[in-house]
């Protein structure tokens, strides 16, 4: 009897989890892979950003209490890319359409592009937009929802900025 009760409880939690993810997926766009100028985020390092956009205007390192490590900020104009000590991407905020004369694109979307164009690719997230922000949830290579989101901030019906937010 105990074994069948355990199995029933496990099945209940599995079905609840699957139902919850399906409901969530009905209202949000889930994307894999996400690319910055044709480079997948999972492969984005400080070296690749530097080779793509050139040397940053400024590099600043701050101690992150949350991450318990130093985070290095590569600043380009009004934009920045933040990297962990192993040089892997932590997060970024892009407020410039171009960096050193190179157009910055996230899955072919740039600062200044229209909201209508974003709707074509991320319809679920755009209709569920709140506070003028469209959030795109990333998935891992094994299709699990990751702890990162891309947020497109919208002003005057166009993309004002693009952010990668690491929730881990």
Q: Are strands 30-31 and 133-139 parallel, antiparallel or unpaired?
A: parallel
| pLDDT tens by residue, 110-156 | 999 999 999 988 888 888 888 999 988 776 555 555 567 889 999 99
95: confidence class by pLDDT, cuts 50, 70, 90: very high
User: Would you say residue 86 lies in a domain?
Assistant: yes
User: Does residue 42 sit within a domain?
Assistant: yes
- Tokens of residue 152, six digits: 């497109």
95 against 145, higher pLDDT: 95
Please, is 104 exposed, middle or buried when counting C-beta atoms within 10 Å of its C-beta (0-12, 13-18, 19+)? buried
Query: Would 7 be classed as within a structural domain?
Result: no
Q: How far apart are CA 72 and CA 62, in angstroms?
A: 6
What pTM was estimated for this model as a whole? 0.77
Determine, yes or no, domain membership for 34. yes
d(CA 109, CA 72): 25
40, part of any domain:
yes
- Domain of residue 60, residue span: 28-166
Is 23 inside any structural domain? no
The total domain count for the chain is: 1
The 10s digit of each residue's pLDDT in 15-74 is 444 444 445 456 556 666 788 898 888 788 999 999 999 999 999 999 988 878 999 999
**Domain contains 99:** yes
Give domain status of residue 9, yes or no: no
């Amino acid at each position: 009897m105990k074994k069948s009760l355990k199995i029933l409880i496990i099945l209940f939690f599995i079905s609840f989890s699957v139902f919850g993810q399906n409901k969530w997926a009905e209202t949000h766009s889930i994307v894999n892979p996400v690319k910055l100028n044709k480079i997948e985020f999972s492969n984005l390092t400080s070296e690749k950003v530097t080779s793509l956009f050139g040397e940053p205007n400024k590099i600043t390192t701050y101690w992150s209490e949350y991450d318990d490590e130093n985070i290095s900020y590569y600043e380009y104009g009004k934009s920045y890319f933040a990297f962990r000590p192993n040089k892997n991407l932590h997060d970024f905020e892009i407020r410039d359409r171009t960096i050193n004369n190179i157009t910055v694109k996230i899955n072919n979307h740039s600062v200044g592009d229209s909201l209508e164009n974003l709707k074509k690719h991320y319809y679920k997230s755009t209709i569920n937009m709140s506070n003028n922000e469209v959030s795109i949830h990333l998935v891992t290579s094994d299709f699990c929802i990751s702890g990162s989101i891309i947020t497109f901030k919208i002003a005057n019906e166009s993309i004002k900025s693009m952010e990668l937010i690491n929730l881990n």
